[in-house]
């Protein structure tokens, strides 16, 4: 399937719209935000290396304190905190490797799975706090994607406040189940498995480009079984997730040469949500139309993006 002309597309469940506009690729002098090369760092020069981060109390560790693979500590510059009633929450830093000069996608699949296991452990711990209602796990890779440090890391952001669009998505999902007797994202998985937007699947997880992609080359990864949060993933599911996640991030960083974000939302009180991770390369800037109208223009049809990923995964 090739998209020749612009199409207005609606999100699977919410009143959110994207204009897929392939002709926009032909405009002159596109502003391509390529991934920035990080300078090589000596271990002592990175604030996240063992020499420095080990001074901070560990919230979770893979390995030992003296020889760790993944280290979780409180964010030293938190946006929210447990002692602030006006912005109550927890802000944590996940150091994905002790080596300041490698990317997450360059690490072994088993190591990426360890990072996912740490996300699961901290999600379960944060959910025990009755005042925390929302957990966001995210990664900024590259300065234009919001990263302030080159050392591979991600963050966990848990708050009492639930963003309105997240609550709206939850309510729409519940309404969908009442009408169709199934989870909307379980239905999306069935639909996208046979679409031109499909990328990859095994018995545990699936990856595809969403129908109304907001970002160039955006990808979603979902467990095939209905899991409402990452703490419920089995070890086999985490390994499958890590395998495709690593390969997709490698493609984004080393083939598209783009900075990226990934993230997933979790509502603590919504056991019916379906977990999914968004991988969002930062290949274009939102300009006047997007800022003024809220309507996102994406010049890369998700069908074209999916074909690109499938070709890369064959290599």
pLDDT tens across the length of the chain (315 residues): 666 789 999 999 999 999 999 876 654 444 444 555 677 777 778 999 999 999 999 999 999 988 999 999 999 999 999 999 999 999 999 999 999 999 999 999 999 999 999 999 999 999 999 999 999 999 998 766 677 788 999 999 999 999 999 999 999 999 999 999 999 999 999 999 999 999 999 999 999 999 999 999 999 999 999 999 999 999 999 999 999 999 999 999 999 999 999 999 999 989 889 999 999 999 877 778 888 888 889 999 999 999 999 999 996
Residue 315: what pLDDT? 66
Residue 231 DSSP SS3: helix
Structure tokens, 219? 């990808």
Q: Mention the CATH class of domain 43-159.
A: alpha beta
**Domain 43-159 in the same topology as domain 7-35+165-260+271-314:** yes
Residues 6+ apart with CB under 8 A from 142: 35, 36, 258, 259, 260, 282
* pLDDT the model gives residue 145: 67
The CATH superfamily holding the domain 7-35+165-260+271-314 is HIT-like (3.30.428.10)
Burial class (CB in 10 A: 0-12, 13-18, 19+), 291: exposed
Structure tokens at 305: 């993006």
Question: Hey, where are the domains in the chain?
Answer: 7-35+165-260+271-314, 43-159
State the pLDDT at residue 41. 75
Cα(20)–Cα(135) distance, integer angstroms: 30
- Tell the residue number behind the tokens 């056991």, with chain if given: 271
| Residues 6 or more apart whose Cβ sits within 8 Å of residue 313 | 199, 200, 247, 251
Say what the pTM is: 0.93
């Amino acid at each position: 399937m090739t998209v020749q002309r612009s199409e207005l597309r609606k999100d699977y469940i919410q009143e959110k719209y994207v204009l897929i506009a392939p002709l926009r690729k032909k405009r002159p002098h596109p502003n391509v935000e390529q991934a920035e090369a990080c300078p090589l760092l000596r271990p002592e020069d990175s604030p996240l290396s063992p020499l420095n981060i080990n001074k901070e109390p560990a919230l979770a560790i893979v390995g030992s304190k003296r020889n760790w693979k993944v280290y979780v500590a409180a964010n030293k510059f938190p946006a929210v905190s447990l002692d602030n009633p006006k912005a109550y929450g927890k802000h944590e830093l996940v150091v994905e490797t002790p080596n300041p000069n490698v990317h997450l996608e360059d690490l072994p699949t088993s190591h990426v799975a360890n990072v996912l296991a740490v996300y699961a452990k901290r999600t379960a711990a944060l959910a025990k706090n009755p005042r925390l209602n929302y957990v966001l796990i995210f990664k900024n890779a590259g300065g234009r994607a919001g990263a302030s440090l080159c050392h591979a890391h991600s963050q966990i952001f848990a708050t009492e406040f639930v963003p309105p669009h997240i609550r709206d998505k939850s309510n729409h999902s519940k309404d969908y189940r009442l009408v169709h007797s199934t989870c909307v994202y379980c239905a999306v998985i069935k639909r996208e498995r046979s679409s031109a937007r499909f990328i990859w699947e095994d018995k545990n997880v699936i990856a595809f480009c969403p129908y109304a992609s907001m970002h160039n080359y955006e990808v979603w990864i979902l467990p095939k079984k209905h899991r409402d949060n990452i703490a419920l993933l089995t070890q086999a599911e985490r390994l499958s997730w890590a395998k495709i996640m690593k390969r997709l991030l490698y493609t984004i960083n080393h083939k598209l040469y783009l900075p990226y974000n990934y993230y997933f939302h979790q509502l603590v009180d919504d056991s019916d949500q379906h977990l999914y991770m968004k991988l969002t390369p930062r290949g274009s800037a939102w300009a006047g139309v997007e800022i003024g109208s809220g309507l996102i223009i994406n010049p890369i049809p998700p069908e074209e993006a999916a074909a690109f990923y499938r070709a890369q995964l064959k290599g």
